[in-house]
Structure 1
């Protein structure tokens, strides 16, 4: 029997799985590019599980579509929007309620009440027929007021019920707006992490109500099926979001229960299978030969520059033509933050000399790029580094079966080359973009750093 059902895929000895690509416009909301669910080892088991798994996928996509069409404002969000709308009308919140004796002569308050009355008339057309002393017989509205009008009316009346408490969802949205911005990769990670947080806690929670036990619940839920190193990265995101919210929401006295919470004790050795290792020189030679014969020209140039500089893959695949300085006394590339490529941190911003084969590859890449902005147009885009990694990874795996050896192993190899050449730790950090933790690393000029990096690479590659 041959299965011919949508979204089912056979994976050799691994069995069957449900594989569904997420539409590009929903990937940020969904938090991933594909929805994958194991269906079992046999056709019969896969067919039995398919209806339930497919129904769950349909629901997830429907929910993602709703979120993509615009998130529903939270209580705090409505409160904030109401204050903003009142401010546009010229009404501020920094005043007190008038006393009964002051109401008649308080022009600001009278203007506020007229604005509220205007809102009410939208929903109660017969409002004029109500007598001043007939409050118990107010006509019913024709339809319920919108949340926006309700929030504006409350803001005009100085929010008599007080300020609502911001929640985790409010914190996430604020962080996305002020810190993540348009970075699609970080947006997806933020949504993915906070989906796990809500799963662990069962619902959106007020920030002030979070306890240490809640943080541990989130950590333990994240650890289910995930490596401790990944969970530590997720917890860093949660910590950053909550710290930002505590500061920006002025939550005086609030503490972040995720502080100093680790997925695993730092003194626990990382399993050997989870560590990357450097390539051997023979492995690099074999992979280079394979790439020369089987890979596209741009991948060959990327690999050669990685091998000759020790840069991260994203740092090279995201280079612009303007980042390559071939006419400088020391030909080099500049690793810099720009709209099409993010760098890991501030110290990663650096100039890296081009020597030997790396210099030749850069010259050929600049010529091939022509008038394009990006040095490698196929990979100088969002998710481009992931595509380059997958493409190079196939050539690496064809030559080296050890899973601890990946494209990033070139960077580990450069570290070993620098050490064995006797290059000082500070000069190694200049080449690789590592932080020494010293205040002194911020001192000195770019030209001097470039010269030190050139000397270090020449020693390492001799």
Structure 2
């Protein structure tokens, strides 16, 4: 019997699978050329699974199409676009409605009326030239949202300015604060999806009260750690504060201010979230990585171990960031298009000594003419991929969930402490803020020498 359904394929002993090509215009959005799902070893099993798999594929493509088209404008968005379109036509908003006896002589207002009549003319049917069947309803001649918004803008929005919503606040924050940072884009979408789930729908900013904020918090706490929810609430707070300021919502307050997922005395202490590796654990993981991991991962691990840098700081290095010809070989951690750093203080020069220096030399040689030192990980979401790859080796040697790749950074902190390095010098190495104005003073060369001495003591 032959299966007569779309997108299904028989692959010999491998069994049946669902195979569907992704339209070219959607490949960048979905990150793949084909959608492949195993359906089972037998024809009967494949037929049983097919309906759900096919429905999931249809939804996947439909969602991708929506993402490609972009989100539909909100009421506030249409209002803003209408004003912008009117301004392009030469009509400004900073004028008053004319009095009745002034309309006839007000040239600007007469020009606005003619422009609105022209828009309306696009939707008035010519009943004399078109034949209609009396038994059928007349066609729909409703104007588009864009033309409606333009007409309202031309007439100075007689219905008033629409109230911005949470969705408007999110989009404004996305445009003005997040930009092209894909990681922050995904976090923003994830957080506000939870907000809408909790509130049931998009809400006008002015209508969100303290009780609503608590509903959002409680919904977020369902199945999530308090520390994660506090991070999500920080995002919501930032978005609403930005919207209150930019939308000129005079007198508005942010109902998410001072709202915590758990009282501070009950929150999980930071020191309990991660722990440093022991030296024996580092030795075991290093040996495993040396035997099992790819060369670039070995180099990343070795540089992390020898510098105390964050994983994203190393995986996102450019070849130009590795200064081997300097009197003190070092890497430069700074913001660039392919890698974001945590904050201003994180920008620093970190000396390379011992095994970390040798790993950096080998990595530069292996990178050749590439821009990124580690091309496989010097990309959006690259640090996450590197974390997952290294995490497998860490977990194979250490079962404690509080020990992760980031534990190397905690270990370096302990090494610096035990070596008697001062707090201010530790901060220079690790890129921590001391909270002092004085941390901005001094030259890069002096800081580099201080960091070299500190790392030398710690790694001795």
Q: If the length of structure 1 is used for normalisation, what is the TM-score?
A: 0.86
The 1-side partners of 2:311 and 2:368 are apart by 22
After superposition, the Cα gap between the structure-2 partners of 1:224 and 1:192, relative to the gap in structure 1 and judged at 3 Å, is: same
After superposition, the Cα gap between the structure-2 partners of 1:438 and 1:49, relative to the gap in structure 1 and judged at 3 Å, is: farther
Please say which of residues 329-338 and 55-64 is displaced more in the overlay.
55-64
Kindly indicate whether the alpha-carbon contact (under 8 Å) linking 2:346 and 2:431 is maintained by their aligned counterparts in 1: yes
Matched, 1:83 2:86: no
Kindly indicate whether the alpha-carbon contact (under 8 Å) linking 1:28 and 1:188 is maintained by their aligned counterparts in 2: no
Kindly indicate whether the alpha-carbon contact (under 8 Å) linking 2:8 and 2:19 is maintained by their aligned counterparts in 1: yes
After superposition, the Cα gap between the structure-2 partners of 1:9 and 1:397, relative to the gap in structure 1 and judged at 3 Å, is: farther
Kindly indicate whether the alpha-carbon contact (under 8 Å) linking 1:222 and 1:231 is maintained by their aligned counterparts in 2: yes
Please say which of residues 258-267 and 410-419 is displaced more in the overlay.
258-267
Please say which of residues 250-259 and 9-18 is displaced more in the overlay.
9-18
After superposition, the Cα gap between the structure-2 partners of 1:29 and 1:160, relative to the gap in structure 1 and judged at 3 Å, is: farther
- 1:65 is displaced (CA, Å) by 3.7
After superposition, the Cα gap between the structure-2 partners of 1:396 and 1:109, relative to the gap in structure 1 and judged at 3 Å, is: same
After superposition, the Cα gap between the structure-2 partners of 1:264 and 1:315, relative to the gap in structure 1 and judged at 3 Å, is: same
- 1:216 is displaced (CA, Å) by 0.5
Q: Deviations over 1:153-209 (max 9, x none)?
A: 000000000000000000111111111111111111111111000000000000011
Q: Secondary structure at the match of 2:250?
A: coil
Instruction: Specify every segment of 5 or more residues in structure 2 that has no aligned partner in the other structure, as ranges.
Output: none
After superposition, the Cα gap between the structure-2 partners of 1:24 and 1:114, relative to the gap in structure 1 and judged at 3 Å, is: closer
After superposition, the Cα gap between the structure-2 partners of 1:56 and 1:136, relative to the gap in structure 1 and judged at 3 Å, is: closer
- 1:306 is displaced (CA, Å) by 0.2
Q: Deviations over 1:328-380 (max 9, x none)?
A: 11111111111111111111111111111111111111111111000001110
Cα RMSD of the aligned pairs, angstroms, is: 5.6
After superposition, the Cα gap between the structure-2 partners of 1:88 and 1:77, relative to the gap in structure 1 and judged at 3 Å, is: same
Structure 2 partner of 1:36: 36
Q: Deviations over 1:295-337 (max 9, x none)?
A: 1111111011000000000100000001111111111111111
Kindly indicate whether the alpha-carbon contact (under 8 Å) linking 1:429 and 1:436 is maintained by their aligned counterparts in 2: yes
The 1-side partners of 2:33 and 2:299 are apart by 28
Please say which of residues 305-314 and 269-278 is displaced more in the overlay.
269-278
After superposition, the Cα gap between the structure-2 partners of 1:318 and 1:4, relative to the gap in structure 1 and judged at 3 Å, is: farther
- 1:399 is displaced (CA, Å) by 1.6
Q: Deviations over 1:235-281 (max 9, x none)?
A: 11111111111111111111111111111111225279962111111
After superposition, the Cα gap between the structure-2 partners of 1:37 and 1:80, relative to the gap in structure 1 and judged at 3 Å, is: farther
Kindly indicate whether the alpha-carbon contact (under 8 Å) linking 1:27 and 1:188 is maintained by their aligned counterparts in 2: no
- 1:392 is displaced (CA, Å) by 1.0
After superposition, the Cα gap between the structure-2 partners of 1:442 and 1:358, relative to the gap in structure 1 and judged at 3 Å, is: same
Kindly indicate whether the alpha-carbon contact (under 8 Å) linking 1:304 and 1:361 is maintained by their aligned counterparts in 2: yes
The 1-side partners of 2:173 and 2:64 are apart by 20
The 1-side partners of 2:147 and 2:367 are apart by 54
- 1:63 is displaced (CA, Å) by 4.4
- 1:440 is displaced (CA, Å) by 1.8
After superposition, the Cα gap between the structure-2 partners of 1:65 and 1:359, relative to the gap in structure 1 and judged at 3 Å, is: same
Q: Deviations over 1:111-159 (max 9, x none)?
A: 111111111111115599999xxx9999999621110000000000000
- 1:22 is displaced (CA, Å) by 12
Matches within 5 A, 1:303-322: 303-322=301-320
Kindly indicate whether the alpha-carbon contact (under 8 Å) linking 2:227 and 2:267 is maintained by their aligned counterparts in 1: no
Aligned length: 459
After superposition, the Cα gap between the structure-2 partners of 1:19 and 1:128, relative to the gap in structure 1 and judged at 3 Å, is: closer
- 1:29 is displaced (CA, Å) by 8.9
Kindly indicate whether the alpha-carbon contact (under 8 Å) linking 2:309 and 2:409 is maintained by their aligned counterparts in 1: yes
- 1:395 is displaced (CA, Å) by 1.4
